Amino acid sequence: MMNVHAIKANFSAPFTRLYKSPTPTAAHSPPAKPFPAARIKSPQIQPHFRQPFLVFPAASRFGSVIRPKPLRCSNSSSALTAEKKSWIEAVGEAISTAFPVWVALGCLLGLVRPGWYDWVQPKWTVMGITVTMLGMGMTLTFDDLRGALAMPKELLAGFFLQYSIMPLSGFFVSKLLNLPTYYAAGLILVGCCPGGTASNIVTYIARGNVALSVLMTAASTLTAVVITPYLTAKLAGQYVAVDAIGLFMSTLQVVLLPVLAGAFLNRYFQRLVKIISPLMPPIAVSTVAILCGNAIAQSSSAILMSGRQVVLAVTLLHTSGFFFGYVFSRFIGIDVSSSRTISIEVGMQNIKVK
C-alpha cells in the first residue's frame, strides 16, 4: 500500500513543475504581472470646471467630444450692453462699407442742388474735420505714432510719390487731352498740392495705417510752402504763392493737435474711448461726404459749363495717383496696409491750400 505522503507528492509534482517551468509552453502562459501600484492614480474630483462638456456614448466610440455652447443670460446687463454695442458697430460697418456711395451721392447733390449746402460754413467744416481727427486719434497710441516715425522708408516713399506722380500726371494728362491753358494750369496746380485731411479720414475708413497717413499729411503740407510754388512754376509756367503761416496753423489745428489729443484720451480715458469709438466711422463718412458735396456745390456752375473734358481730366489725374502710388509702394517692398495708405495719400489732394 502506497504511502499517503508519496501519493500527495506525486499528485502535486506536475503542477509544481508546470508552475516553475522556465520556458512556458504554447498551451500555458505565465500569468500577467499586475501594474505597479505607483501608476494607478485615484480619480480626483475637480471643484469646478471652466468649460463643462458632455460626452455622448454614440460619439465617444469614435473619440469625439461634443461641447455645448455656453448659455447666455438674457437679463444680464453686460450682455445687453454688448448687444447694443455690436448693433452700433454693425450699423457703422454698413455705413463705412458704402462709403463710395455716400460720397458719390453727396457730390451729385452738390452738382444738381448746390443750394442744399448753403448751411455749410467754414467754421462748421473745420469743426467737423477736427472732431473726426480727434476720433481717429482715439484709435492710436503714442507707440503707434513713434512706430510711424520709425518707418523712414514708408515716409520717404510717400513724400516722393506725392510730389512726383501727381504733378507729372497733371502735366501729361493736360497734354494728352489738349486742355486749354487755364484748365491745364489748374490741373497741374491740383497735382502739386499736398495731401489733405480727407485722406486721413479715408485711410481710417479703409483700415490703413492712420499714424503714417497723419505724418505724411503733416510732412507734405509743411513742405508745400516751397515745393508747390516751385513745381507749379516749372510745369505750368505760373508762380502760385502759398501762405506759410496760415498753412502751418491749419495743419497744427486740424491735424496734429486733434490726433495727439485723441491718443492722450486713448491712454488715460479708455472707458470714454470705448463709448465713443463705435460712433466714429459714421461721423467720418458723413464728414467726407459733406466736404466733397460742398466743394462741388461751390463750383457747380463752372463744372457744368466745363463739360466732360475737365471731368475726365480730373478723373484720370486722381486715378493715376491711386494706382501708381500703390503699385510703386508694393514694388519697393512696402506692406499692404502702408501701401494702401500711401496710395490714398498720393491720390487725394488738399485743393484749398492758400
The residue to which cell 500577467 is assigned: 32
297 lies in a domain? Answer: no
Which pLDDT does position 32 carry in this prediction?
Answer: 54
Q: Are 130 and 258 in contact (CB under 8 A)?
A: yes
Asked if residue 272 is part of any domain, the answer here is yes
Distance of CA 170 to the CA centre of its chain: 30
**CATH code: domain of residue 250:** 1.20.1530.20
Closest Cα partner for 162 from 354, 333, 330, 329? 329
In a domain, 103, yes or no: no
Please tell me the distance from the alpha carbon of residue 206 to that of residue 288, in angstroms, as a whole number: 13
Question: Which DSSP letter does residue 345 get?
Answer: H
Residue of 292, 293, 285 whose CA lies nearest to 94: 285
pLDDT tens per residue across span 101-120: 898 899 999 989 888 898 88
d(CA 209, CA 338): 6
Establish if 59 belongs to a structural domain.
Answer: no
The CB-side HSE value for 165 (13 A sphere, CA atoms) comes to 30
> Which residues neighbour 290 within 8 Å (Cβ) at sequence distance 6 or greater?
106, 117, 120, 125, 128
Residues of the chain with pLDDT under 50: 1, 4, 7-9, 11-12, 14-21, 25-27, 35, 38, 40-43, 45-80, 353-354
Closest CA to 322 of 206, 232, 227, 214: 206
Domain count, the chain: 1
Tell me the CA distances in angstroms from 109 to 121, 128, 198, 284, one per residue in order: 17, 19, 19, 19
Give the integer Cα–Cα distance in Å for 227 and 192: 8
Q: Write the Ramachandran bin of 137: left for phi over 0, alpha for psi from -120 to 50, otherwise beta.
A: alpha
Dmax (CA) of the chain: 145
Residues contacting 96, CB < 8 A, separation 6+: 205, 281, 282, 284, 285
Domain-located, residue 170? yes
d(CA 199, CA 299): 21
For the chain, where are the alpha helices, taking DSSP H only? Answer: 4-19, 57-60, 77-97, 99-112, 122-138, 142-149, 152-162, 165-176, 181-192, 197-205, 210-236, 244-251, 257-268, 270-276, 280-298, 300-306, 308-331, 336-347
According to the model, what pLDDT value does residue 173 have?
Answer: 93
Cα separation, 352 vs 329, in Å, equals: 27
| Domain contains 224 | yes
In a domain, 160, yes or no: yes
Q: Which structural domain range is residue 210 located in? A: 139-283+306-347
How far apart CA 86 and CA 122 sit, in angstroms, is: 35
CA 202 – CA 72 distance, rounded (Å): 37
pLDDT score for 65: 44
Q: Tell me what pLDDT residue 3 has.
A: 54
